């Protein structure tokens, strides 16, 4: 971590996200705001960890829209700001983003959007390059951590010079790649983070009259940015051949390796676009005129391909253009895929030195290893208790967080999910359009992110469901980031700034109950009486199931384990514990269940559902 | 064997085993050696018991994302995951696996069957000429921590690569220097010992 704030230039082996942090610091960023989301989270996390050394104000925002608006206001005062988010985060921020492009900024403002081809940890694989095109905002696309470092610096310069936010669009293979980065000098900026906001309401208050004028200015700015793109040093041409390849981002690396493997370095001419919005049309025209045919190599949508087809049509270029009919549109690319596409398009034969080992040598069915709720996770207890009272027949809309893992059998406590906060609003819709009882699950951080307007909406419209807020006092899945209602940060315990129970009461829920799910009997009684009330008097009910994430709690409280649980000789082998709790610490030995003492954290939930499970003191 | 100017190392294991740190050690040592090095990781739900994969590429290769059949070296931290990742390897690959199993949930709960270690070793040996299966957990415990499985394996691999004459793989000295830079000082001694145990384990097999 020290490396991130070292003053000198040096060569480091850095994570893409760390390279982005370093570049922002060198660029004089004073304000960073983000809602965490894989693969972008390390940007805000590292910034947060070093905030005291750097004097940068770092805010974990309630959601991406809030982060973008806050950062925009800071930039509007001439102070450089950064906000980062995963690809779907930009959907949340899109309302702010589209019109911020009109209003522009005074100080440099960089938006990092981290796309996730192959959906390593996301619900979709949308291609956020179209956001730049839709908002007419300049976009840079790095291929390596070092390029991410250089491009963030350039993005700040472009932003400030042309008065527009800039996008740096990464993918998982940039954010979570490690590479050699040559960093420059960094000087901490001393003093308070204060700029100046010059009032100019007929420029900054976007009523239609102002918006119309800004729209025209936006198009004028676009023409200037087109010039920037034409001349950008990030548009790189390699080779002198007549087989043209146009690519961007991490796909460029696959192209380089594939071309080397195929031994066609002399035959190809590669255009690697680093600035992919605005599209450098003249540069593309010139490139096309020097090659006979073109293969466009890009992940996800045919974003470049469509632009190139337009340029070809405008310049009456008659060569063959190929893209998505050779390059897969779904999921990440890699060297073999790109090599095969090049080989097929130009009929270049390739004999690998070694054969890949065929998956057919493996046994037909290897046991899968899906991620799982941790031993002692309070979500497991809540799911058990809700299921005991409402059964499998109820409808369970869920949300985004660790608890989404409740999807997996035997818990099977998830029926519908589309995005952050959707549990609450879809529960309302389901309660209108079908007859099963509806119980929605949402995490504490996710509730604050996007659940509150939905809850108010359901109260307003007399929807009928139980909202279970799984409050583990942290944003666990993305790495334990704090949120306004959290009582723990990675640095220790804290008082929550906002109390979730007060919010839900103020939203008008019919009843709000709080349980500690680790107390099974008492929790079941509360849930059962909630069910009775819901039957008698339908409406929106809220249950806050509150117990801290044990992973984080153990780390910050450093509480030693005092007891673990053990199955004694009275076990009759009913394996109900496996079917109902499925704690990873359980294992089956013969017909009976045992508990792995190394994994058991002593939460006691299993002992409350089975008399044969007893505590053992640790010494 | 394969061309010397590049080496693609694929690491695979289970969340919590320190797969990413091991990969990073090799990368940091590569940087100290002044060679071109890149690495890719898949984070995500690692802490929740899922599979963790990462790759480090030394030398003349731009991408650290490995497709099927692209791993020259496989370093597996868990035998079932070694087997599952076998299609990442090719007929000229070499491989090392830890033999201490971490049965996945589907097995411990009594549904699926974990293949026997013998079966796993037999299948991999059929496909890969130079393949070693070692109990890295035992060596790590001997060094003082079950958390040091990753460094035992890196030690073993270092000795193995020396033996194969892979000059592009960083030397023992550089790996120890990288270890000192990367792990907290209070656990350095345990890790250094774990590295030595792994390193010597390979030499015993010669």
In DSSP notation, A138-193 reads -EE--SSHHHHHHHHHHHHHHHHHHTS-EEEEEEHHHHTEEEEEEE----PPPS--
Q: What is the pLDDT of residue B45?
A: 62
- Whether residue A391 lies within 8 A of chain B, CB to CB, comes out as no
Q: Pick A578's closest partner by Cβ from B45, B87, B110.
A: B110
Query: What is the rounded distance in angstroms from the CA atom of residue A73 to the CA atom of residue A269?
Result: 44
Give the 3-state secondary structure percentages of chain B, helix then strand then coil, rounded to 5.
50, 20, 30
Dihedral of the alpha carbons of B34, A19, A178, A126, in degrees to the nearest 10: -150
Residue in B40, B81, B90 closest to A356 by CB: B90
Tell me which of A94-98, A275-279, B110-114 is least confident: B110-114
User: A63 to chain B nearest CA, in Å?
Assistant: 20
CA of B200 to nearest chain A CA: how many angstroms apart?
A: 28
Q: Please give the residue of chain A at the shortest CA–CA distance from B105.
A: A584
Of B104, B111, B127, the CB nearest to A357: B127
What does the DSSP 8-state code read for residue A447?
I
Going by the DSSP 8-state scheme, the letter that residue B147 receives in this structure is G
Please indicate if any CB of chain B lies within 8 Å of the CB of A588. Answer: yes
Mean pLDDT of A446-461: 98
Cβ atoms within 10 A of the Cβ of B186, count? 7
The answer to whether B87 contacts A586, with C-beta atoms less than 8 Å apart, is no
Please say whether the beta carbons of A565 and A341 come within 8 A: no
Which chain A residues touch B81 with a CB distance below 8 Å?
369
pLDDT at A413 over 90: yes
Structure tokens at A283: 């540069």
User: Do B71 and B51 form a contact (C-beta atoms < 8 A)?
Assistant: no
Q: B109 in a domain, yes or no?
A: yes
Task: Specify the pLDDT at position B47.
Answer: 64
Q: Answer yes or no: are the C-beta atoms of A83 and A32 closer than 8 Å.
A: yes
d(CA A346, CA B26): 38
Cβ distance of B47 and A374 shorter than 8 Å: yes
Chain A neighbors of B113, CB-CB under 8 A: 367
pLDDT in tens, A512-561: 999 999 999 999 999 999 999 999 999 999 999 999 999 999 989 887 88
Put simply, the answer to whether B38 touches A254 (Cβ < 8 Å) is: no
DSSP code of residue A374: P
Measured CA to CA, the distance from residue A256 to residue A333 in angstroms comes to 13
Distance to chain B for A383, nearest Cα, Å? 17
Alpha carbon distance A136, A154 (integer Å): 17
A478 touching B, CB under 8 A?
A: no
Taking an 8 Å cut-off on Cβ atoms, the answer to whether A121 and B28 are in contact is: no
How far is the C-alpha of A153 from the C-alpha of A147, rounded, in Å?
10
Q: Hey, are the CB atoms on A250 and B109 less than 8 Å from each other?
A: no
User: Model confidence at A155, in pLDDT bands (50, 70, 90)?
Assistant: very high
Q: A117 to chain B, minimum CA–CA distance in Å?
A: 12
CA B21 from chain centre, in angstroms, equals 10
- The number of C-beta contacts closer than 8 angstroms across A and B is 184
Q: Residue B1 falls within a domain, yes or no?
A: no
Inspect the interface and report whether the beta carbons of B50 and A371 lie closer than 8 Å. Answer: yes
> Within A298-451, where are the H helices?
303-314, 335-346, 378-390, 422-433, 444-446
Q: Which residues span the domain enclosing B58?
A: 7-205
Query: Residue B2's pLDDT band (boundaries 50, 70, 90)?
Result: very low
**Which residues are CB-contacts of A92 (< 8 A; sequence separation ≥ 6)?**
A35, A63, A64, A65, A85, A420, A449, A450
Decide if pLDDT at B1 tops 60: no
Strand A177-183 to strand B37-41: parallel, antiparallel, or no bridges (unpaired)?
A: antiparallel
> Could you tell me if A349 lies within 8 Å of chain B, comparing CB atoms?
no
Q: A588 and B110 in contact by Cβ < 8 A?
A: yes
The per-residue pLDDT for range B37-87, each reduced to its tens digit, is 999 987 656 667 789 999 999 999 999 999 999 999 999 999 999 999 999
CA distance B36 to B70: 18
Give the position of tokens 């095969």.
A340
In a mutagenesis test of the A interface, which of B19, B43, B121 is the best target, namely the one with the most A β-carbons within 10 Å?
B43
Using CB atoms, pick whichever of A367, A372, A374 lies closest to residue B114.
Answer: A367
Helix (H/G/I), strand (E/B), else coil: B124: helix
Does pLDDT of B110 surpass 90?
no
How far does the CA of residue A98 sit from the closest CA of chain B (Å)?
A: 30
What average pLDDT is seen over chain A? 96
* Residues of chain A numbered 117-156 and touching chain B (CB < 8 Å): 120-121, 144
Residue A481, burial from CB neighbour count under 10 angstroms (0-12, 13-18, 19+): buried
pLDDT at A105 over 50: yes
Residue with tokens 């089956």: A588
Pairwise CB contact (< 8 Å): B91 & A575: no
pLDDT of residue A26: 97
Tell me which DSSP letter residue A483 carries.
-
Give B40 to chain A, closest Cα distance, Å: 4
Residue A334 contacts B where some CB pair is shorter than 8 Å = yes
Mark yes or no for CB contact B49/A368 under 8 Å.
no
Q: At what angle do helices A16-26 and A145-162 cross, to 10 degrees?
A: 40
CB contact under 8 A, B43 and A13: no
Band (B3; pLDDT cuts 50, 70, 90) = very low
Q: Which residues contact A163 (CB under 8 A, 6 or more apart)?
A: A104, A105, A106, A221
Contacts A121 to B, Cβ<8 Å: 43-45
Closest CA to B16 of B44, B54, B48: B48
Domains and CATH numbers, chain A: 2-231 (3.40.50.970), 236-346 (3.40.50.920), 378-557 (3.40.50.970), 563-617 (3.30.70.20)
Which chain B residues are Cβ-neighbours of A578 within 8 angstroms? 109-110
Query: Where on the phi/psi map is residue A347: left (φ > 0), alpha (ψ -120 to 50), or beta?
Result: left
Q: Does A257 touch chain B (CB under 8 A)?
A: yes
CB atoms within 10 A of CB A278: 22
A172 touches chain B (CB under 8 A): yes
The distance of A59 to chain B (nearest Cα, Å) reads 22
Q: What is the pLDDT of residue B44?
A: 57
Q: How far is CA A167 from the centre of its chain?
A: 16
Number of domains chain B is built from: 1
Answer whether A250 sits within 8 Å of B114, measured CB to CB: no
Would you state the structure tokens that stand for residue A143, as one six-digit string?
A: 């291929």
The verdict on a CB contact (< 8 Å) between B41 and A363 is no
The ipTM (two decimal places) reads 0.95
* Residue B144 pLDDT exceeds 90: yes
Residues forming a β-bridge with A14: A179
- Whether B2 maps to a domain, the answer reads no
Closest CA to A619 of A568, A561, A557: A561
Q: What is the CATH number of the domain that holds B115?
A: 3.40.920.10
Distance of CA A109 to the CA centre of its chain: 20
Q: Which residues of A108-144 are buried (b: 16+ CB within 10 A; e: fewer)?
A: bbbbbbbbbbbebbbbebbbbbebbbebbbbbbbbbb
**Token code pair at residue A520:** 């099974």
CA–CA dist A518, A168 (Å, integer): 44
Residue B204: in which H helix or E strand, if any?
A: helix B188-205
How far A292 CA sits from the closest chain B CA (Å)?
26
- Check: CB of residue A477 under 8 Å from CB of residue B44: no
User: What is the Cα–Cα distance from A206 to A28, expressed in whole angstroms?
Assistant: 29
Measured distance CA(A168)–CA(A271) in Å, rounded: 19
Mean pLDDT along residues A224-230: 98
Residues contacting B195, CB < 8 A, separation 6+? B151, B152, B154, B155, B158, B175, B176, B179
CB contact under 8 A, A356 and B14: no
From the number of C-beta atoms within 10 Å of its C-beta (0-12, 13-18, 19+), residue B200 rates as middle
**Closest chain B residue to the Cα of A578, Cα to Cα:** B109
Q: How far apart are CA B13 and CA B80, in angstroms?
A: 9
Q: What is the mean pLDDT of residues A334-341?
A: 97
């Amino acid at each position: 971590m020290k490396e991130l704030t070292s003053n000198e230039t040096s060569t480091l082996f850095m994570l893409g996200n760390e390279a982005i942090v370093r570049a922002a610091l060198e660029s004089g960023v004073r304000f960073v705001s983000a809602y965490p989301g894989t693969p972008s989270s390390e940007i805000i996390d590292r910034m947060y960890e070093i905030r005291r050394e750097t004097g940068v104000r770092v805010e974990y925002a309630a959601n991406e829209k809030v982060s973008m608006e806050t950062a925009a206001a800071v930039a509007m005062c001439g102070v450089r700001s950064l906000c980062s988010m995963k690809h779907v985060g930009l959907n949340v921020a899109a309302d702010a983003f589209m019109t911020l492009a009109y209003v522009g900024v005074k100080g440099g403002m960089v938006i990092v959007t981290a796309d996730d081809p192959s959906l390593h940890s996301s619900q979709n694989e949308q291609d956020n390059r179209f956001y730049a095109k839709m908002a007419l905002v300049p976009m840079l696309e790095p291929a390596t951590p070092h390029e991410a470092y250089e491009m963030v610096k350039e993005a700040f310069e472009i932003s400030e010079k042309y008065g527009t936010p800039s996008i740096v669009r990464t993918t998982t293979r940039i954010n979570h790649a490690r590479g050699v980065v040559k960093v420059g000098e960094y000087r901490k900026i001393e003093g308070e983070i204060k700029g100046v906001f010059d009032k100019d309401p007929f420029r900054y208050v976007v009523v239609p009259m102002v918006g119309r004028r800004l729209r025209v200015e936006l198009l004028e700015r676009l023409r200037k940015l087109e010039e920037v793109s034409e001349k950008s040093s990030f548009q790189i041409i390699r080779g002198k051949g007549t087989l043209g390849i146009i690519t961007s981002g991490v796909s460029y690396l696959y192209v380089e390796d594939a071309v080397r493997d195929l031994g066609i370095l002399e035959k190809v001419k590669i255009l690697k676009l680093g600035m992919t919005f605005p599209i450098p049309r003249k540069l593309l025209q010139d490139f096309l005129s020097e090659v006979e045919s073109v293969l466009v190599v890009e992940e996800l949508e045919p974003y470049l391909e469509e632009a190139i087809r337009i340029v070809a049509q405008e310049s009456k270029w008659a060569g063959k253009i190929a893209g998505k009919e050779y390059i897969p549109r779904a999921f990440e690319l890699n060297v073999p895929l790109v090599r095969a596409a090049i080989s097929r398009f130009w009929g270049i034969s390739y004999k690998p030195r070694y054969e890949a080992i065929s998956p057919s040598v493996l046994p037909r069915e290897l046991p899968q290893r899906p991620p799982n709720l941790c031993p002692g996770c309070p979500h497991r207890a809540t799911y058990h208790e809700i299921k005991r009272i409402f059964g499998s027949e109820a409808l369970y809309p869920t949300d985004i967080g660790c608890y989404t893992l409740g999807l997996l059998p035997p818990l099977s406590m998830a029926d519908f999910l589309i995005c952050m906060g959707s549990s609450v609003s879809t529960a309302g819709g389901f309660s209108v359009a079908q007859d099963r009882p509806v119980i929605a699950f949402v995490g504490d951080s996710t509730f604050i992110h996007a659940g509150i307007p939905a809850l108010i909406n359901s109260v307003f419209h007399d929807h009928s469901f139980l909202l279970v807020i799984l409050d583990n006092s942290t944003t666990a899945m993305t790495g334990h980031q704090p949120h306004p209602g959290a009582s723990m940060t990675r640095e220790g315990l804290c008082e929550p700034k906002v109390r979730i129970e007060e919010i839900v009461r103020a939203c008008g829920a019919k009843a709000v109950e709080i349980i500690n799910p680790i107390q099974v009997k008492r929790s079941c009684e509360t849930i059962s009486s909630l069910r009775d009330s819901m039957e008698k008097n339908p409406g929106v009910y809220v249950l806050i199931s509150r117990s801290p994430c044990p992973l984080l709690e153990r780390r910050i409280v450093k509480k030693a384990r005092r007891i673990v649980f053990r199955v004694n000789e009275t076990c009759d082998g009913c394996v109900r514990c496996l079917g109902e709790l499925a704690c990873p610490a359980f294992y089956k030995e013969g017909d009976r269940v045992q508990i792995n003492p190394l994994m058991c954290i002593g939460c006691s939930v299993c002992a409350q559902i089975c008399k044969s499970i007893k505590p053992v003191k640790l010494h | 064997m394969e061309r010397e100017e590049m080496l693609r190392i694929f690491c695979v294991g289970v969340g919590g085993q320190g797969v990413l740190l091991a990969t990073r050690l090799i990368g940091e040592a590569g940087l100290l050696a002044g060679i071109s090095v890149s690495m890719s990781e898949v984070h995500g739900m690692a802490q929740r018991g899922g599979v963790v994969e990462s790759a480090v590429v030394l030398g003349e290769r731009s991408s650290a994302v490995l497709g099927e059949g692209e791993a020259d070296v496989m370093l597996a931290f868990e035998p079932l995951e070694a087997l599952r990742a076998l299609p990442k390897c090719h007929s000229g690959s070499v491989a090392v696996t830890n033999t201490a199993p971490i049965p996945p949930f589907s097995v411990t709960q009594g549904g699926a069957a974990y293949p026997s270690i013998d079966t796993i070793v037999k299948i991999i040996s059929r496909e890969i000429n130079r393949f070693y299966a070692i109990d890295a957990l035992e060596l790590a415990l001997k060094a003082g921590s079950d958390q040091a499985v990753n460094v035992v394996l890196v030690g073993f691999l270092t000795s193995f690569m020396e033996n194969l004459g892979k000059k592009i793989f960083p030397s023992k000295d550089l790996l120890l220097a990288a270890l000192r830079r990367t792990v907290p000082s209070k656990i350095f001694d345990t890790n250094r010992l774990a590295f030595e145990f792994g390193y010597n384990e390979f030499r015993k097999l010669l």
